[in-house]
Amino acid sequence: MKIFGFLIAGKVEIPDELSEVSLQATPAELRRIARFLEQCAATMETHPDFGHAHLKDTDEAMKEGPDVIVVQ
């Protein structure tokens, strides 16, 4: 597994590889993220051409704030 990210004020459009990730979220937000990750895993198993998925595209309640993107 690799983790990548962008700085909020960053001007570089290439993501940096991160050594860790910290989530500041409510229990409800963590459950929404967990459901999204589970859905991505299930889709990846059945669709080898998965590519990527955005949490913001799949969960209307998570449209505000940072996005979570899963890349195969």
Give tens-digit pLDDT for 12-51: 788 899 999 999 999 999 999 999 999 999 999 999 999 9
Q: What is the Cα–Cα distance from 70 to 35, expressed in whole angstroms?
A: 13
Q: What is the Cα–Cα distance from 18 to 28, expressed in whole angstroms?
A: 25
Residue 10 has pLDDT above 90, yes or no: no
Residue 69 has phi, psi (to 5 degrees) of -120, 130
Q: What pLDDT is recorded for position 14?
A: 85
Largest Cα separation within the chain, whole Å, is 37
Residues β-bridged to residue 4: 17
pTM: 0.87
Residue 67 has pLDDT above 80, yes or no: yes
